[in-house]
Amino acid sequence: MRKFACLVLAAVGALPFFVRTSAQEPPKAEAPALFNTYDELFDSFEKRRQVLVTRLERLQEKERVEPAELQAVESELRALDREYTAALRAYIAAKPAASDVMPARFELAVALSRLDENLDEAVKAADDFMANHGNAELAADMRFLRAQTLFRMEGREQDALQAFEQFIEKHPEREDADAARMMRVRTLLFLDRVEDAKRSLKMLLDTDRVKKDSDAVEFLQRQLANLDWVGRELPAFAAVDTAGQAAAGGDFAGKPLLLFVWDSTSGACLGELPYVQEAARRHEGRVAVLGIGVNESKAGFEQFLAKGEVKFRNVWIDREQENSLVKKLNVSLIPFNVLVDAAGKVYRYDVRSDDLLRYAARLNR
């Protein structure tokens, strides 16, 4: 059975559509092309998609690439997915009893799930698939896709938890069952059920298949250790920020705080920087953000900040300095984020990217 990547969701978000060149009426969308078979429909879009995916992969392999280049290809991929969903809908509506309508319904849910603005529709498409093809071979994949989609929707965490639990109950031995178990743990954390998340990690560690995998054991133990930080007092610290002003833990009392440990010469840190900037933008005045630069060169760090692109306060700390906040927090890999609640206690430790934004929103409630 051919289908677009059914389990791995594209790691691109939807960009807002701002362009309006005049006061004229926007052009009407062309009616989607009608295809004789699902295979014909799939092949038509798959060829175009693979061209764009190849372009994106080549850009990502380059040592230096302009963000605008990546965004342009990602926008083309999203536009293609919108066109693809329209074609799939037209095919399903025209041939609801066709022998190949089942994979078309499956692909509709998959394509919609790649579009951040269409996640609600993706869940409805998944429900429609299950209502019509609940006993099909692809039903397990659809259950997982539905749970993943709900996971990505803020405010639907309880639904996502239920969906993961149903998937695990029905398919405990599938290869992706452990991925579902880990996403269940993340969902529990979004719901602030930290102790339940710990218990789930410990249950995974106790399974025979995990015990045989040293990498899995190390990963799960690290996740447990991270959760042990939750609720601890933020270690005391004092530093001078890059503007020459004193910065100490007490300065942030009564307000949530995001600490971002980073190096402006690190590609991974620069990849994380937009998420921190977005958290600072969304919660300006309500969540404080403090960057902790650990560049080998203080001058180099300050030179990077002088470009004016970083919109939050920063201090520089010698990464080898004993008793520094970096050492007290036991930071070994960067980028590294710590969220602290208004009472000065660690809320989440070592979180990244989309999870960071979700936790920051919960912390700000």
pLDDT at 321: 85
- Outline where the chain has alpha helix (H): 38-61, 67-94, 101-113, 119-133, 139-151, 157-170, 177-190, 194-205, 208-211, 214-228, 267-282, 298-305, 325-328, 353-363
The contacts of residue 37 (CB under 8 Å, 6+ apart) are 100
pLDDT score recorded for residue 89: 96
Q: Which of 277, 261, 284, 287 is nearest to 347 (CA)?
A: 287
Angle (deg, nearest 10), helices 139-151 and 119-133: 160
What percent of the chain has a predicted confidence (pLDDT) above 70? 91
pTM, full prediction: 0.83
Express each pLDDT in 308-323 by its tens digit.
999 999 999 998 888 8
Question: What pLDDT, on the 0 to 100 scale, is given for residue 196?
Answer: 97
Lowest-confidence segment of 29-38, 83-92, 150-159, 346-355 by average pLDDT: 29-38
Angle, in degrees to the nearest 10, between helices 101-113 and 38-61: 30
CATH class of the domain defined by 238-363: alpha beta
Token digits for 128? 């429609």
If pLDDT is split at 50, 70 and 90, which confidence band does 270 have?
Answer: very high
- Helix ranges restricted to H, 229-285: 267-282
Q: What 8-state DSSP symbol labels residue 116?
A: G
Binned at pLDDT 50, 70 and 90, residue 291 comes out as very high
- pLDDT, residue 319, reads 82
Segment 242-261 shows an average pLDDT of: 93
Sort 141 into a burial class: Cβ within 10 Å, 0-12 / 13-18 / 19+.
Answer: buried
CATH code, 38-153: 1.25.40
Please name which of 141, 146, 178, 186 lies closest in space to residue 163, comparing C-alpha atoms: 146
Q: For 196-227, how does the pLDDT look when each residue is reduced to its tens digit (9 = 90+)? A: 999 999 999 999 989 999 999 999 999 999 99
Domain ranges of the chain: 38-153, 238-363
**Mean pLDDT calculated for residue range 268-287:** 94
Domains 38-153 and 238-363 agree in fold: no
Interatomic CA distance for residues 196 and 175, integer angstroms: 23
